[in-house]
Structures are given as C-alpha cells and as structure tokens.
C-alpha cells in the first residue's frame, strides 16, 4: 500500500477555501498542513516514480524506527466524526450487521458525495474508483477464467452476496428513512460495493507510520499488509507481489480432492461403502468445503490433515474400533507438525504420501492452462499478470509437494 492509500479514512479539516485551480494532490497536501498531519522532511508524495497512482518517495536515507507521518486523532474520518454522526449514533441498533462496517460505510457514502464534505480534498483523490481493481470488479467470466483453481472466485462470490444482502436488508431501508441525507439513486449498491473495497484496501490500523527497515533515497515507501499470500493480497487489496519473493504464499487443497482420490480404484461395493462411511464421519468433524493449507515450509493445517489421512487409511477393523471408542488419543502436536513439514513429508507412510500426492495433482489440474499459451509476461494485461503471480505461486507449492510425496 502506498502512502496516500494508508490514509484510509482521510482527515477532518476546518473550513478553508482550497482554490479550484490547484490539482487534487496540491489540494490534499495543503489540507494535510491545515489539519496538522505531520509529514517527515525525508519523504514526499508524488505520482511519478511510484507503482500505482499516488505514493510516497524517500528524499533521503531513512533509518529503522523513524516516524514518516503522524495523523491527529481528530483528523480521522469515521462514524463519530462525520457530519451525520448524530443520526448514526441514535439509530445504531438498526445498523448492526455481520461485517460491523455499516455505520462507517454510511458515513463514507454521505461524505464522498457531499460537495461540502470536510474531507473533500482527501476524497477527491479518488474522483472515481477506477483505480480499485479488486477481483470483485472483474467480470465473472474474467474471474473464473483467470483465477480458476485459486479459491478467489469463490471468495468473491461470497463477498458480493454478503455485500448485496447487507445493502438490501440494512443500508437501503436506513437510506430511505433519511431522504434528507442519503438518496438511493446516488448511494447505490455499486457505490456501496466500491466503498467496501476502499475500506478493505485503505483503512488504517494506527495513526502513524513507522519505518520497519532502512529505506534508501529514491525508494518508494510502502505500508505492510502482514503475512499474506498472493491470493489474499489480490482478493482484499487488488495487487500481488512477485510470487518468487512472497515467502507467505499458500495454496489450498480441498478436502473433497482427498475424498476423490480415496475412491479411485475402489473395486468392490464393500470397499466403496467403507470409504463412504469414513467420509460421512469426517464431514461431521469438518465442512465439505474445508481445505488443507500448504505454505513454503509445509502444511499449515497439519492437525486436520493428520486426522483425515488417519481415517481414510484405516482398515475396516481399525475403523470399527475407532467408531466404538469414539475417536483416538491424539499424537503430540510437535510430532504432527514435523511430520507434515517439507522435511518430514518424505518419511510419511506410503499410503498417506500417495493420497497427498494425488490430491495435490488433482488440485494443480484445476487451474487450466491459459498462462501456458505462449504469451510473454509483457504481453499480458495487468489483470492477467496479477492472476499469473497467484497461480504460479500456488502451482510451485503444489509441484514441490508432489515431488516430496512421489513414490
């Protein structure tokens, strides 16, 4: 996230006349001075030399621990500082939702469309939300084609369904109740969805930015997102890192793939019935859409994977005893973690390795082959390039996993 984007909820200002002849960035910087936002003399804000729209560049070498900017607490836009704070507070019981964001989003709906907004110099940096390019703004065909197998299309469909339900059931009735402040024709589901993405990508967790590593003069300064895989970065923030340099990349292997592999080659009806019984029991312990997560060091959901493999590989007698005793004594967690690390995987018994190998192969086959069509990276669209980083990162983990578990 670049500098301007870290100012996720903007800032409050006194009534100052910002000349219309100034460009949005000049307006914003003048406004920052007015509200008391303190910017280090070692950085500047620019649209040149940055990876996206506006960004922060180092004018001098910056050491770890230096404060790059500080935002006054009174300068943060949220439901308690907006002009419509009184009505939001008065009727907050009617604004409860699973996301918990409705009051903030209603504040943003009002301020973003108000010509008199105290945050206009900040919000004007986004005259529209065309720079927001989260997969939720891609066509369904594009998502399904470019991101097939990554888990993102399914996550986006869930997001869009939740957003529409929240807008229809909570936001729209409230808007219609206050036609003097909001208008369904202006404050649409489309704008609400854009503001959800805006909050996801640009919201602050703190009121100052502190340098966590030395930055050289001329480098762009970025906000950290934490330890996130590329699919999470693209889903929530609309960008990716080069997959080779993202040490936090992960891939999900659906539990259903293990079931499909376990049923391969089953000949007799009795054997198939045994697999079905095991599967039904496993579904009592976890959801059918559950996944096993593998990262760059091994399985991150090792305890769950251990349990599933143990059940699927039981003989009929072992499974009967397992049911009679309603489970088993769990192995030590440290032992399980080691067994499902990349160092330990080759030492698993053959039947477990085969299930993991084939489930990984089945997962890899779900991606499709559009990126193998011969297009050079520079010939791809920005969306194709980002999708490629997600898919290549996930496939590299799957290929490593298959290599470590091959017979």
**Summary mean pLDDT of the chain:** 87
Same domain (yes/no): 173, 148: yes
Query: Do 187 and 313 sit in the same domain of this protein?
Result: no
In this predicted structure, the answer to whether residue 12 has a pLDDT above a threshold of 50 is no
**Residue 376 pLDDT > 60, yes or no?**
no
52 and 161 both lie in a single domain: no
For CA atoms 300, 302, 308, 313, the dihedral sign is positive
The yes-or-no verdict on residue 332 having pLDDT over 80 is: no
What does the alpha-carbon distance between residue 244 and residue 241 come to, in Å, rounded to a whole number?
A: 8
Confidence of residue 24 (pLDDT cuts 50, 70, 90): confident
Q: Are residues 196 and 318 in the same domain?
A: no
Q: What is the pLDDT of residues 196-210, one digit of tens each?
A: 999 887 776 868 889
Which H or E run includes 43? Answer: strand 43-46
Residues 255, 398, single domain; the answer is: yes
The number of domains in the chain is: 3
Residue 131 is part of a domain; what is its CATH number? 3.90.1410.10
Is residue 4 pLDDT above 80, yes or no? no
pLDDT tens for 88-104 read 999 999 999 999 999 99
294 and 342 inside one domain: yes
All residues at 6 or more sequence positions from 344 whose CB lies less than 8 Å from its CB, including other chains: 298, 338
- Report field, pTM of the whole predicted structure over 0.85: no
Task: Please determine, for residue 258, whether its predicted confidence score (pLDDT) is greater than 80.
Answer: yes
Is 238 contained in some domain? no
Identify whether 98 is part of a domain.
yes
Residue 52 within a domain: yes
Percentage of the residues of the chain whose pLDDT score is greater than 90: 63
Is the pLDDT assigned to residue 319 strictly greater than 80?
yes
Give the CATH number for residue 346.
Answer: 3.90.1420.10
| One domain for residues 44 and 123 | no
Q: pLDDT tens digit string along 230-243?
A: 999 999 988 898 99
Residue 6 lies in a domain: no
Q: Could you give phi then psi for residue 345, rounded to 5 degrees?
A: -55, -45
More confident residue, 376 or 262: 262
Q: Are residues 263 and 350 in the same domain?
A: yes
Structural domain including 37 reads: 24-74+209-220
Same domain, 385 and 272: yes
Q: Is residue 407 packed enough to be buried (19+ CB in 10 Å), middle (13-18) or exposed (0-12)?
A: exposed
Residue 49: its pLDDT value, please? 76
Q: Which of 147, 173, 203 is the last residue of a domain?
A: 203
């Amino acid at each position: 996230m670049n500098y301007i984007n870290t100012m996720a909820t903007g800032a409050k200002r006194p009534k100052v006349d910002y000349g219309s002849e100034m460009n949005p960035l000049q307006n914003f910087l003048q406004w920052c001075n007015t509200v008391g936002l303190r910017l280090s003399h070692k950085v500047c804000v620019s649209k040149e030399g940055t990876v996206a729209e506006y960004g922060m560049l180092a004018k001098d070498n910056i050491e770890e621990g230096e404060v790059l900017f500080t935002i006054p607490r009174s300068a943060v836009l949220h439901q308690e500082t907006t002009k419509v704070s009184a009505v939001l507070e008065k009727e907050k019981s009617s604004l409860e939702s699973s996301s918990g964001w409705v009051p903030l989003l209603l504040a943003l709906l009002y301020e973003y469309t108000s010509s008199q907004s105290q945050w206009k110099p900040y919000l004007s940096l986004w005259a529209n939300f065309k720079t927001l390019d989260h997969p939720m703004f891609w066509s369904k065909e594009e998502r399904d084609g470019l991101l097939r197998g990554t888990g993102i299309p399914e996550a986006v469909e869930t997001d869009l369904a939740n957003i529409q339900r929240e807008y229809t059931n909570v936001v729209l009735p409230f808007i219609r109740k206050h036609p003097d402040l909001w208008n369904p024709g202006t404050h649409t589901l489309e704008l609400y969805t854009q503001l959800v993405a805006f909050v996801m990508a640009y919201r602050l967790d703190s009121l100052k930015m502190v340098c966590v590593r030395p930055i050289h003069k001329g480098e762009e300064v970025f906000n950290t997102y934490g330890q996130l895989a590329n699919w999470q970065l693209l889903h929530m923030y609309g960008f990716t890192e080069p997959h080779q340099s993202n040490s936090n990349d992960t891939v999900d292997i659906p539990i259903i793939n293990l079931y499909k592999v376990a049923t391969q080659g089953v000949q007799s009806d009795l054997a198939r019935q045994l697999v079905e019984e095991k599967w039904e029991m496993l579904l009592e312990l976890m959801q059918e859409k559950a996944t096993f997560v593998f990262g760059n060091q091994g399985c991150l959901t090792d305890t769950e994977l251990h349990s599933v493999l143990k059940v699927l590989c039981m003989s009929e007698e072992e499974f009967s005893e397992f049911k009679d005793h309603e489970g088993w004594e769990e192995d030590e967690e440290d032992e399980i973690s080691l067994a499902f690390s990349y160092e330990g995987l080759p030492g698993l018994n053959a039947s477990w390795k085969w299930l993991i190998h084939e489930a990984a192969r089945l997962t890899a086959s779900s991606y499709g082959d559009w990126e193998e069509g011969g297009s050079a990276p520079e010939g791809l669209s920005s969306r194709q390039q980002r999708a490629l980083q997600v898919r290549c990162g996930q496939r590299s983990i799957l290929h490593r996993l298959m290599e470590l578990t091959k017979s």
